[in-house]
Amino acid sequence: MSAANLEALTQIWQRVLRRPSIGADESFFALGGSQAQVIELFNEIKRTMGRDLPPLIIFEAPTIRSLANIFETGQVPTLAPVVTLRSGTHALPIFMAHGISQSLLDFIGLAESMDTDCQINGIQSPGIDGITAPLDCMDDLVEFHMKAIRSVEPHGPYFLVGYSFGGLVLLEVARRLRASGQKIALLAMLDSYPHPSYLPLREKIQTAVLSLRSRLRSAPPNLGPKPSGLFLKAIKNVGEASRQAWDEYRPSYYPGEVKFIRAERISLFPSSAQAVWSKLTKKLGVITVPGDHTGMISIRYKELADALSKLVHEGTQA
């Protein structure tokens, strides 16, 4: 292995993580690396070493040595549909699905902050690698997520956590799993709403007003460094495909229980989760956490992690 690559990567890691020394086999996540630092790390690698690598590789190569090995072989590892966000000892894992124009990087803080012995897995939407084609049909996305989940855990009970659009996908996954005789121990939807076209009239009007206010804002919140290059393009393409699926998706009645976690500060979606979901689910429990739609997972994720941890604990005891 090239000593030059090891040394260059070590210096980048030390700068990004602000540590005087880092061993070649120390995990980025064990060192406390955040989502913003992952983006910063790979932006630095592109700037100083000339390699435009997707930041999601950090899940496949979380150490300096394993990352240096990619430089040696010249082969970027295939991004698996299911990625372990945090290991655990409990027999039953948790599966998470991300929102539109997002990736599993958005779950780093949330996963690390949860108080559970369950392994936490994230499902990556097709196309996030910039190679495979993204899916723009809800049925195809649901089938992809269900196959990914069952490839890891063939039988339930299942713990499913979906943020925003990911919550709608996992709602449909839960429907199909139930229909096949599987038990859903937890279906948690995090600020997940259908397209405004399918909202009740009052919530439809409220969403239109909120959308107008959002467009009139002078600048979006600064959530840290932005990814660049091929990964940014992939995120954009997957986001556009997911948005088309969201536009066309109309939820129907779900004969099970949903735990709905809503953002305290209304910024994009309706103020009443009950008005949207109470008639579409057999049982609905609503929990409010601090932050707005994006802030609940990017800034106030520790409070969200606490709420989810309690729900998971209840599910494992049932």
pTM of the model: 0.92
The answer to whether residue 50 scores a pLDDT higher than 50 is: yes
Q: Which of 48, 73, 98 is the last residue of a domain?
A: 73
Q: Are strands 82-86 and 120-123 parallel, antiparallel or unpaired?
A: antiparallel
Residue bearing the bigger pLDDT, 128 or 182: 182
For residue 296, give both structure tokens: 């609940």
Dist CA 238 CA 260 (whole Å): 25
Give the pLDDT confidence score for residue 16 in this predicted structure: 95
Whether pLDDT at 74 is above 80: no
Q: What is the mean pLDDT of the chain?
A: 91
The pair of structure tokens assigned to 52 is 């435009």
Q: Are residues 124 and 246 in the same domain?
A: yes
**Statement to judge: residues 140 and 197 lie in one domain:** yes
For the stretch 190-213, pLDDT in tens is 999 999 888 888 888 888 877 777
pLDDT of residue 266 exceeding 90, the answer is: no
- The count of domains in the chain is 2
Same domain, 289 and 192: yes
Give the three-state DSSP class for 160.
strand
Does one domain contain both 56 and 173?
Answer: no
Looking up residue 50, the CATH number of its domain turns out to be: 1.10.1200.10
| 220 pLDDT above the threshold of 60 | no
- Shared domain for 186 and 262, answered yes or no, is yes
| 126 and 26, same domain (yes or no) | no
State residue 219's pLDDT score.
Answer: 47
What is the pLDDT confidence band of residue 214, given thresholds at 50, 70 and 90? low
**Do 253 and 141 have their domain in common?**
yes
How far apart CA 60 and CA 269 sit, in angstroms, is: 35
**CATH code assigned at 193:** 3.40.50.1820
Going through the chain in order, the beta strands assigned E by DSSP cover 82-86, 94-97, 120-123, 158-163, 184-190, 254-263, 281-289
69 & 86 share domain: no
pLDDT of residue 170 exceeding 80: yes
Q: Are residues 125 and 15 in the same domain?
A: no
Which of 15, 39, 73 represents a domain boundary (last residue)?
A: 73
Query: Given 39, 73, 107, which residue is the final one in a domain?
Result: 73
The arithmetic mean of pLDDT across residues 16-34, rounded, is: 94
How far is residue 64's CA from residue 31's CA, in Å, rounded to a whole number?
12
Max intra-chain CA distance, the chain: 64
- Residue 253, exposed/middle/buried by CB under 10 A (0-12, 13-18, 19+)? exposed
Tokens matching residue 248: 């066309």
> Closest Cα partner for 63 from 89, 33, 83, 35?
33
Residues 206 and 281 in one domain: yes
* Mean pLDDT on 49-74: 90
Helix axes 3-17, 64-73, angle to 10 degrees: 140
Range of the domain at 231: 82-317
Q: Does residue 15 surpass a pLDDT of 70?
A: yes
Where is pLDDT greater, at 3 or 191?
191
Of the spans 61-65, 72-76, 98-102, 170-174, which averages the highest pLDDT?
A: 170-174
pLDDT band at 216 (very low <50, low <70, confident <90, very high): low
Q: Do 64 and 105 reside in the same domain of the chain?
A: no
65/87 same-domain check: no
